[in-house]
Structure formats: structure tokens, C-alpha cells
Structure 1
Amino acid sequence: MAGSPVLIGAATALIALVAVFLAYNANSGLPFVETYDITAEVADAQQLTTGVDVRIGGKRVGQVNGITARKSRTTPGAFSSSLELKLDRGLGPIPTDSTIRIRPKSVIGAKFVELQLGRSRRTIAAGGVLPQSQSSAAVDVQDFFNAFDAGRRRAVRRVVKEFASAAAGRGAQFNAGLSILPTALLDGGRVLRTLADPSTDLDGFISGLDRASGALSPVAPRLRAAIPGARDTLGAFARADDTFGESIDRTPALEKAVLRAEPVVSPVLLDAASLARELRPGVRALPRTVGALHDAVEVGVPVLRRAITLGPQLRATFASLDDLARQDSTTATLTRLDPIGQNLLAVLQHVAPLEIRCNYLGLFGRNSADMLGDGDEYGNWFRAPLQVLGIQNFKSPDVAPDFRYQVYPDNVPGGCAIGNETFRRGGLIGRDPAQAPVRNPRTPRPAGIPEGPR
């Protein structure tokens, strides 16, 4: 063969042809090499191509030999993909709880399939199927950037630009922040453990925050208008400098004090709540009370303004009264008024009940009006009875027997005139039977007046 150039060229061409054939079929596996083939169902092939690697922990254990699109069995109109995995024979049947994950191999879009072996004793035979529920896919770089449309990309550029402007010339502050970062991470770990504690109820807090956000949605325009005011408030906090920081530093001690005071304060708060419930009727009446007080103030203010003028006048009057009170004659006068008052009190004690019960003043007024009730064309007649007793017109050492004349002779003893007496249960209304009957005198009618009732 060494002496025959034709034979050497034919052998070389044959070897090259075999190499080209093997290279062309390398994506489908090398001939005469036994493999362990299975099918994996995935929701999306994620731009996989045939021949990509299947790896376990970064080691190549096979390749994707084919990709087939299939209609979804559960969702109409949806599709999934089936991957034909050609694995090394030595890998053997894999556990049934194994999972696969489609991951990017580089930033330019290359992918590979990562296989994670499970722990189940049951295995998938050659030609078996790994279900879709045991597959997943990593977020691709291009998917991440595809989430940003033109408007979002402009916003990101603006944020990055502003952040760069804010970070410029602040290297010392960044270094200081990095120096306290370990402590912050330790404190953050405690915070995260507290948040992860079931008693913290982080889920309930987030749900409540979601409901609060939903409740604030209708008033979003008002909140937008409140932002400038919040800016002024935060500016005031910023100007407080160390004072605000000291307040934050004292907050843990305040919290501990509040926790210590809680057993003592709780009964007080309960009593305050009970008091608030009891005050509700008064609070409901408060608007009316405030209205009445408002009216009183409106009426009282003009009076008080006039009282400024009245004050000096009253000062002179009180000064005169003070001088009068200091005089000896005033004291003597007041001393003499005491027996007069005692005598007047006795009279009032006797007269007042009779007037209140019997209305004698009213009767006197009525009778006085009747005195001028009659008359003729020349005027009214004045009628007045005269009680003239001779014994009363002469001097005598004795009092006249009719000196205490009873104006109303039909009085019930100790009571009022007949027809004006006070009603008493079981008592008699009308004339006392024990008294003698008295008839009204009959007077002749005036001339020219027809006979009629009297």
C-alpha cells in the first residue's frame, strides 16, 4: 500500500467519508453505542434544539435526540413538548421522582437540560415517560429583557442615570455603608426570623395591606395631592438631624416600658372603653348643647359689653350702700325691722292660706266691679252696703260685739265661702246643714224694667 498512491488515496478518502458520516450522525448518537432512552414532557421547550446536552451536576450524561410538539390534554388550544432524551447506558433506570430543568448555557441563548435524580425506589424503564409536573424552566435573559417595552426601557435608563448622579462623589458614604453591612445583615437575619415566625402572621399582614391598598384606590387622587404635604413633613424630619435619630434610638426602651406598663394600663383602658360607651348618649346630645351654648354666647356677649358701662355705675351704688351699712342708724333700723317682720309673718301665715284657698281678693274685685253694674240714662248706680251700729259710734270701754264682722256669713267654719270651698274627698259640697238657711233679700225692680229673674 505504501508503494501505491492510488490505494493510499482511496483509503484516505474512505476514512474521511466515515469521519464525515460519524460527525453528521453525532447528534443522533454514535453507532454501535447502547443508550438509555426516555421521554420527558415539558410545558415549553424554551428554544431547545436537538443535540443539546443533558447534564447531572454539570457532567454530560446524554443529549436531546428529538423535540415533538403535542396538544395539551387538559387545556384546549394549548401545546406542550416532548423531549426524547438519549442517556448513557451506565446511568441506568432513573428514579420516578426525578426532575428536569431547562437552563441557559450562556447569555447568547444556548440551553441545556439539567437532570436531578430523585430518591424513589421505583424507576423509569427504558422508553418510559417523565411527566410534565416534574419539569420546570429557568428565566432566560432574553425573556427578562423582553419584559421591558420601550417605555420601561426609557424609565430604567432614567433611573440608572439619576442613581449614577446620586452616587457620584459619595464613595466615602458607600464605604461607610459597606462597613456596617455585616451588622445590618445580622440584624436583618433577626428581622427575617421574626417575620418567618408563625405568630407574626405575615400572611395576614400582607392580606390586610392588600385590602388597605384596595380601599385607598378610590382616593388615589387625594393621596397624590397629599404627597407635597408629606414632602414638607419629611423635610422637617430631615432638618431635625440628631433629634429624630435620638427618638429612634429611644424607641426600643419606650417599647420595653410600654410592655412593662401594659398589665397596669390594660384595666385603665378597659375602664376608659366602658366610660366611652357610657358617654355616648351625652356625646349624641353634645351638638344640641353646643348649639344652646352658642345661642347663649351670642346673647351674652352684647350683655357683657354693656356690663362694662354698668360696672362703674354699680361701683358708685355699692359704695353708697357700703356707706349706708356702716352708719349706726342703719343697724338700729334693721334691728327694729325684726319684730315688725315677726308680726307681719304672723299676719301672712293667717291671710295667705285663706287667699290661696278661698281667692278672697278675686271675689273682692268681682264684687267691686258689680258695684257699678246697674244704671240708667243719667249714669251708673253705685251700690255699697253700710253697716252702722250705734254702739260703734260712741265711746265705750268695751269692744262692739260685731266688730269682727264676717263678710261671708255662710262660711264653713275654718273654710271658705259657700261655693268657693276647697274640695276634700268624702266632704260636703254646698251649704253646711248645721247652719241656719239664709235667703237673699228681694229688692223691688226699678220703674220701667220688666219683671224677670233675679
Structure 2
Amino acid sequence: MRRRSSLAASPVLIGAAAVLLALVAVVLAYNANRGLPFVRTYDVRIQLPGAQNVLPGNDVRLGGARVGQVADVVPTTDRRTGRIIATLELRLDGGAGPLPRDTTVLVRSRSALGLKYVELTRGRSRATLPPGGTLPLRQARVEPVDLDQITARFDDRTRRAYRTGNRALGDGLAGRGRDLGEAVDRFGPLLERLAPVMANLADPGTGLSATIDGLGRTADEVAPVAGVQASLLRRLQGTLDALADVADPELQDAVAAGVPLQESVASRLPAQRPFLRRTRRLLNDLRPGLRALRVAAPDLAAALRRGTTTVPRIPQLNGRLDSALASLDELSKDPLTARSLGAQVRAATVLRPVLDQLTPAQATCNAITLFGRNLANHLSEGNRYGTWERILFMLAPQQTTPSARPAADLNYAPYPNAGQAGGPVECESGNEPYAPAGRIGNVPGNQGTTVDRGPGLERR
């Protein structure tokens, strides 16, 4: 009994025990950010485009609950793109794992001072991430833009102006809590009416994106005259000062009188929606014509100027048209007119196949004009024995007598190509080359459309 009491009362032993407990407390406090010792953990890695002010020791949350902390932040290289990314080593509680392989990662702000935490959102995959596994970069969601990131973009002058604006806003709101509360209470009906408006704006048929693009182009046009616009705003102060003298009660009465007008417009605008929709479609259809009108405007202006000299002659033309229309009316009542028109219709029906062949030949090869020119030359020129319109057979030397086969060197195209429908665009007749071995039929290749273009025969 005497020995035991002496050990308990020994100051050396008591001091050694106190030092040992202090060392254990220091070690535990130093390693607190790395997790408590002898506790089972679930360690994984995640990849992020950037560390985004994430530091070792920041919280890791799952469903809003803290499940671990960031153990380390290491810069690594993405193998696919070659750019530098951040790899975070997470030390999670053992009960938090295993995580599905399609778990997503998001870095969020914890406070306005820039403190961050890592938020994990479980996926639906049945495959899980083993301890030490890595969530790839594609599963990192875009971080929302925080207020401190916005203000970090400001320069010193903008920051000072921002502070001044906040101070003025605070002074303006000070002591007006009751008014602000009433304003918030009245926002309820406004938000109810705002919901269908926002739904219409979100509808693709509204064309809000096109409107914004148009506003962007308008801003680009206005940008060069921004100085002029600023001077107009400065001079507007004089106008507003003049209006301030009549603000009460004239302007107030005008605003109050405008409320029934606004209600009337709001009630009638839905009925005008079909008309406005049709008007928009009409303007869209007219857009190509208006674009072409810009090019044709000089010609139209010249035509209108010429028309001013022609319009005074229209009454004289009307007088002459009276007799012409009277004659036409008498002709229409003649029984022979109907028979004549019927005969012309039948003749046109009979001549249509011929015209279908002659029209492309004339348009492509000027065939009818050349035929008339050559025929006139044959019938008008000659000597004392007659005109040149005679028949002369061109026979091969070896075929002066009837034969069962054509001459070996005969070149003949019974149906030469002359721009007929479905055929090549060429003038084969008169342009075909001579083939010593003989050829019956069309000439291979395209012979072009060069024909006689003598004076008076030019094809327009």
C-alpha cells in the first residue's frame, strides 16, 4: 500500500503522462484534416477543368450531408486534349460508398468569402466505382457563376462605382421596410399574370431569339453614334426639368387616365393575334420582293418619270379604243367567228407536233431563217438557163448502179440533232465532220451551235 501511493504521488510520472496526452492531442489535431485514425474510409479521385479555389480540407457533400473532405489537389494532363486539369483526391466516409460510375461532380460556393465544397450527385448506373477509382472529366458539371466571380472581372473604377451604387441603394431602402413588404405582397398578382407572358416568350413560335438578334444588329448600327446619343440624354435633363413643374397634377392625371386605355388594349390584343400572325407571314413573304425592289428601284423611278408624259395621252387612247372595242364586239357576235376560232384550234392541234420540232431548231440553230434565206437565193439567182434551184444527185464512184448496200464511205444523218427535247444542244446539220470509213446516224460528241450569222440572220 505504501508503494502504490508513492507512485501516484510521483511528480515525474504525472508530468510524463501529461506530456504524452498533449502529444497525442497535437497529432490528432494535426491529422484532423486528413481524417481520424483507425476509421475506415472510401477514397476516390475526380477530375475537374480547374481547381476553382478548392483546397485540401474542403468539405465533400452528398445530398447536402457532409460525407468526407478533399485530401489533395494535384494538377494533371488530360490524355485526350493535352490540357492541364485538376485531379482531386477525396477521402469519404466508408458508409458513403460505393458510388455509381455515372456520379456527377459540381463545385459550389459555401459562403460569400469564396469557400468552396464539392457536391456529388449519385447516378443510376449499377456499376460502381472501386476504391481508388476516378470519375472522368466528362462527369464534371459546369459551376454556376458566383457573385465574387462577377465582381472579380471589374476594374478599380468599376468597383468604386459599384460600391457607390450599393451605398446609394442602401440609403434609398433604409427605413422603407413596410413599403418593401407591401410591394412584395403586390408582386403576387403580377407574377401570376407574368407566367403566361413568359410561356409565350419561351415558345419557339414567338421568335424571341430572332428579335434579340435584331436588337444586336440594331445596337451595332447605333454604336458608331453613341456619343451623339449620350449628348441627347444629357440634353434630356432640361426637358425633364420642365416636365417636373407640371408633374403634379397634370402628368398624374394623364397616367391615371391611361389605365383604362391599357386595360382596353390588353383585352383586345388577344383578338388581334390571328391578324398579327397573318401580317407577320405576309411580311416574311414580301421580304424577297422588297430585297429585289432595292435593286429595281432606279428602273422603276425612270419608268415612273416616263409615265408622267404618257398618262396625259391615255384619254386619247380611250377614245380610239371605243371604236376598236365596238368592232370587236360586233366580230364576237358574228356566227362565223366561232367557226373560225374552232378551225384555228384544230389547225393548232395538227401543227403542234411540227412546232414542237421546229421551235427548238429555230431557237438553237436559226434553222427557219437560214432555210428561207437559202431558198430565196436559189429561186432568185441563176443564168439564162434558169435559177440555181435544180436537183443534182451526188453519187459515190463505186455505186453508180443500184446496190443492196450503202456506199462504204457514205456520211448521212437522217435526223440531225438541232436542240430537240431530250437531245444534246447542238447544230449537227452542216457542222458534222466527214468520216472516210462512212457513217450513218448522228455524229458522236457535240458539234456546237455555230451557224451562219450573216447580216440580218443574227440569232438574238
What's the counterpart of residue 31 of structure 1? Answer: 37
Instruction: Flag the 1:130–1:225 CA change in 2: closer, same or farther, 3 A.
Output: same
What's the counterpart of residue 65 of structure 1? Answer: 71
Q: What is the alpha-carbon distance in structure 1 between the residues aligned to residue 116 and residue 126 of structure 2?
A: 30
Letter in 2 for 1:47: N
- How large is the Cα RMSD of the aligned pairs? 4.4
Q: What is the alpha-carbon distance in structure 1 between the residues aligned to residue 277 and residue 144 of structure 2?
A: 53
The equivalent position to 1:87 in structure 2, one of 85, 89, 92, is 92
Superposed displacement of residue 22, structure 1: 2.6
Are 2:22 and 1:16 aligned?
yes
The equivalent position to 1:114 in structure 2, one of 110, 114, 119, is 119
Q: How does 1:397-412 map to 2 (within 5 A)?
A: none
Superposed displacement of residue 221, structure 1: 4.7
What's the counterpart of residue 180 of structure 1? Answer: 186
Q: What is the alpha-carbon distance in structure 2 between the residues aligned to residue 54 and residue 7 of structure 1?
A: 43
Letter in 1 for 2:56: T
Are 2:25 and 1:40 aligned?
no
Instruction: Flag the 1:171–1:42 CA change in 2: closer, same or farther, 3 A.
Output: closer
Instruction: Flag the 1:176–1:65 CA change in 2: closer, same or farther, 3 A.
Output: closer
Are 2:9 and 1:3 aligned?
no
Alpha-carbon contact 1:104-1:111 (below 8 Å) kept: yes
Instruction: Flag the 1:166–1:235 CA change in 2: closer, same or farther, 3 A.
Output: farther
Q: 3-state DSSP class of the match of 1:3? A: helix
Letter in 1 for 2:125: S
Alpha-carbon contact 1:41-1:80 (below 8 Å) kept: yes
Alpha-carbon contact 1:95-1:117 (below 8 Å) kept: yes
Q: 3-state DSSP class of the match of 2:216? A: helix
What's the counterpart of residue 241 of structure 1? Answer: 255
Instruction: Flag the 1:24–1:282 CA change in 2: closer, same or farther, 3 A.
Output: closer
Q: What is the alpha-carbon distance in structure 2 between the residues aligned to residue 116 and residue 96 of structure 1?
A: 11
Instruction: Flag the 1:133–1:188 CA change in 2: closer, same or farther, 3 A.
Output: same
Are 2:119 and 1:105 aligned?
no
Letter in 2 for 1:103: R
Superposed displacement of residue 114, structure 1: 1.8
Are 2:269 and 1:255 aligned?
yes
What's the counterpart of residue 411 of structure 1? Answer: none
Q: What is the alpha-carbon distance in structure 1 between the residues aligned to residue 275 and residue 214 of structure 2?
A: 28
The normalised TM-score by structure 2 is 0.50
Q: 3-state DSSP class of the match of 1:137? A: coil
What's the counterpart of residue 193 of structure 1? Answer: 199
Greater CA deviation, 154-163 or 93-102?
A: 154-163
Write the deviation string for residues 45-100 of structure 1: whole angstroms up to 9, x where unpaired: 22222222212233221121111112344566x53211111111222220112122
Alpha-carbon contact 1:2-1:8 (below 8 Å) kept: no
Q: Larger Rg: 1 or 2?
A: 1
- Structure 1: 5+ residue runs without aligned partners? 293-454
Superposed displacement of residue 145, structure 1: 2.9
Superposed displacement of residue 187, structure 1: 1.0
What's the counterpart of residue 133 of structure 1? Answer: 138
Are 2:129 and 1:124 aligned?
yes
What number of residue pairs does the alignment pair up? Answer: 284
Instruction: Flag the 1:100–1:257 CA change in 2: closer, same or farther, 3 A.
Output: closer
Alpha-carbon contact 1:100-1:113 (below 8 Å) kept: yes
Q: What is the alpha-carbon distance in structure 2 between the residues aligned to residue 264 and residue 18 of structure 1?
A: 83
Q: What is the alpha-carbon distance in structure 2 between the residues aligned to residue 145 and residue 186 of structure 1?
A: 33
Q: How does 1:257-336 map to 2 (within 5 A)?
A: 258-259=272-273
Q: 3-state DSSP class of the match of 2:102? A: coil
Identity %: 37
The normalised TM-score by structure 1 is 0.51
- Structure 2: 5+ residue runs without aligned partners? 311-460
Instruction: Flag the 1:8–1:153 CA change in 2: closer, same or farther, 3 A.
Output: closer
Q: 3-state DSSP class of the match of 1:241? A: helix
Write the deviation string for residues 18-59 of structure 1: whole angstroms up to 9, x where unpaired: 332232223233333222111111122222222222122332
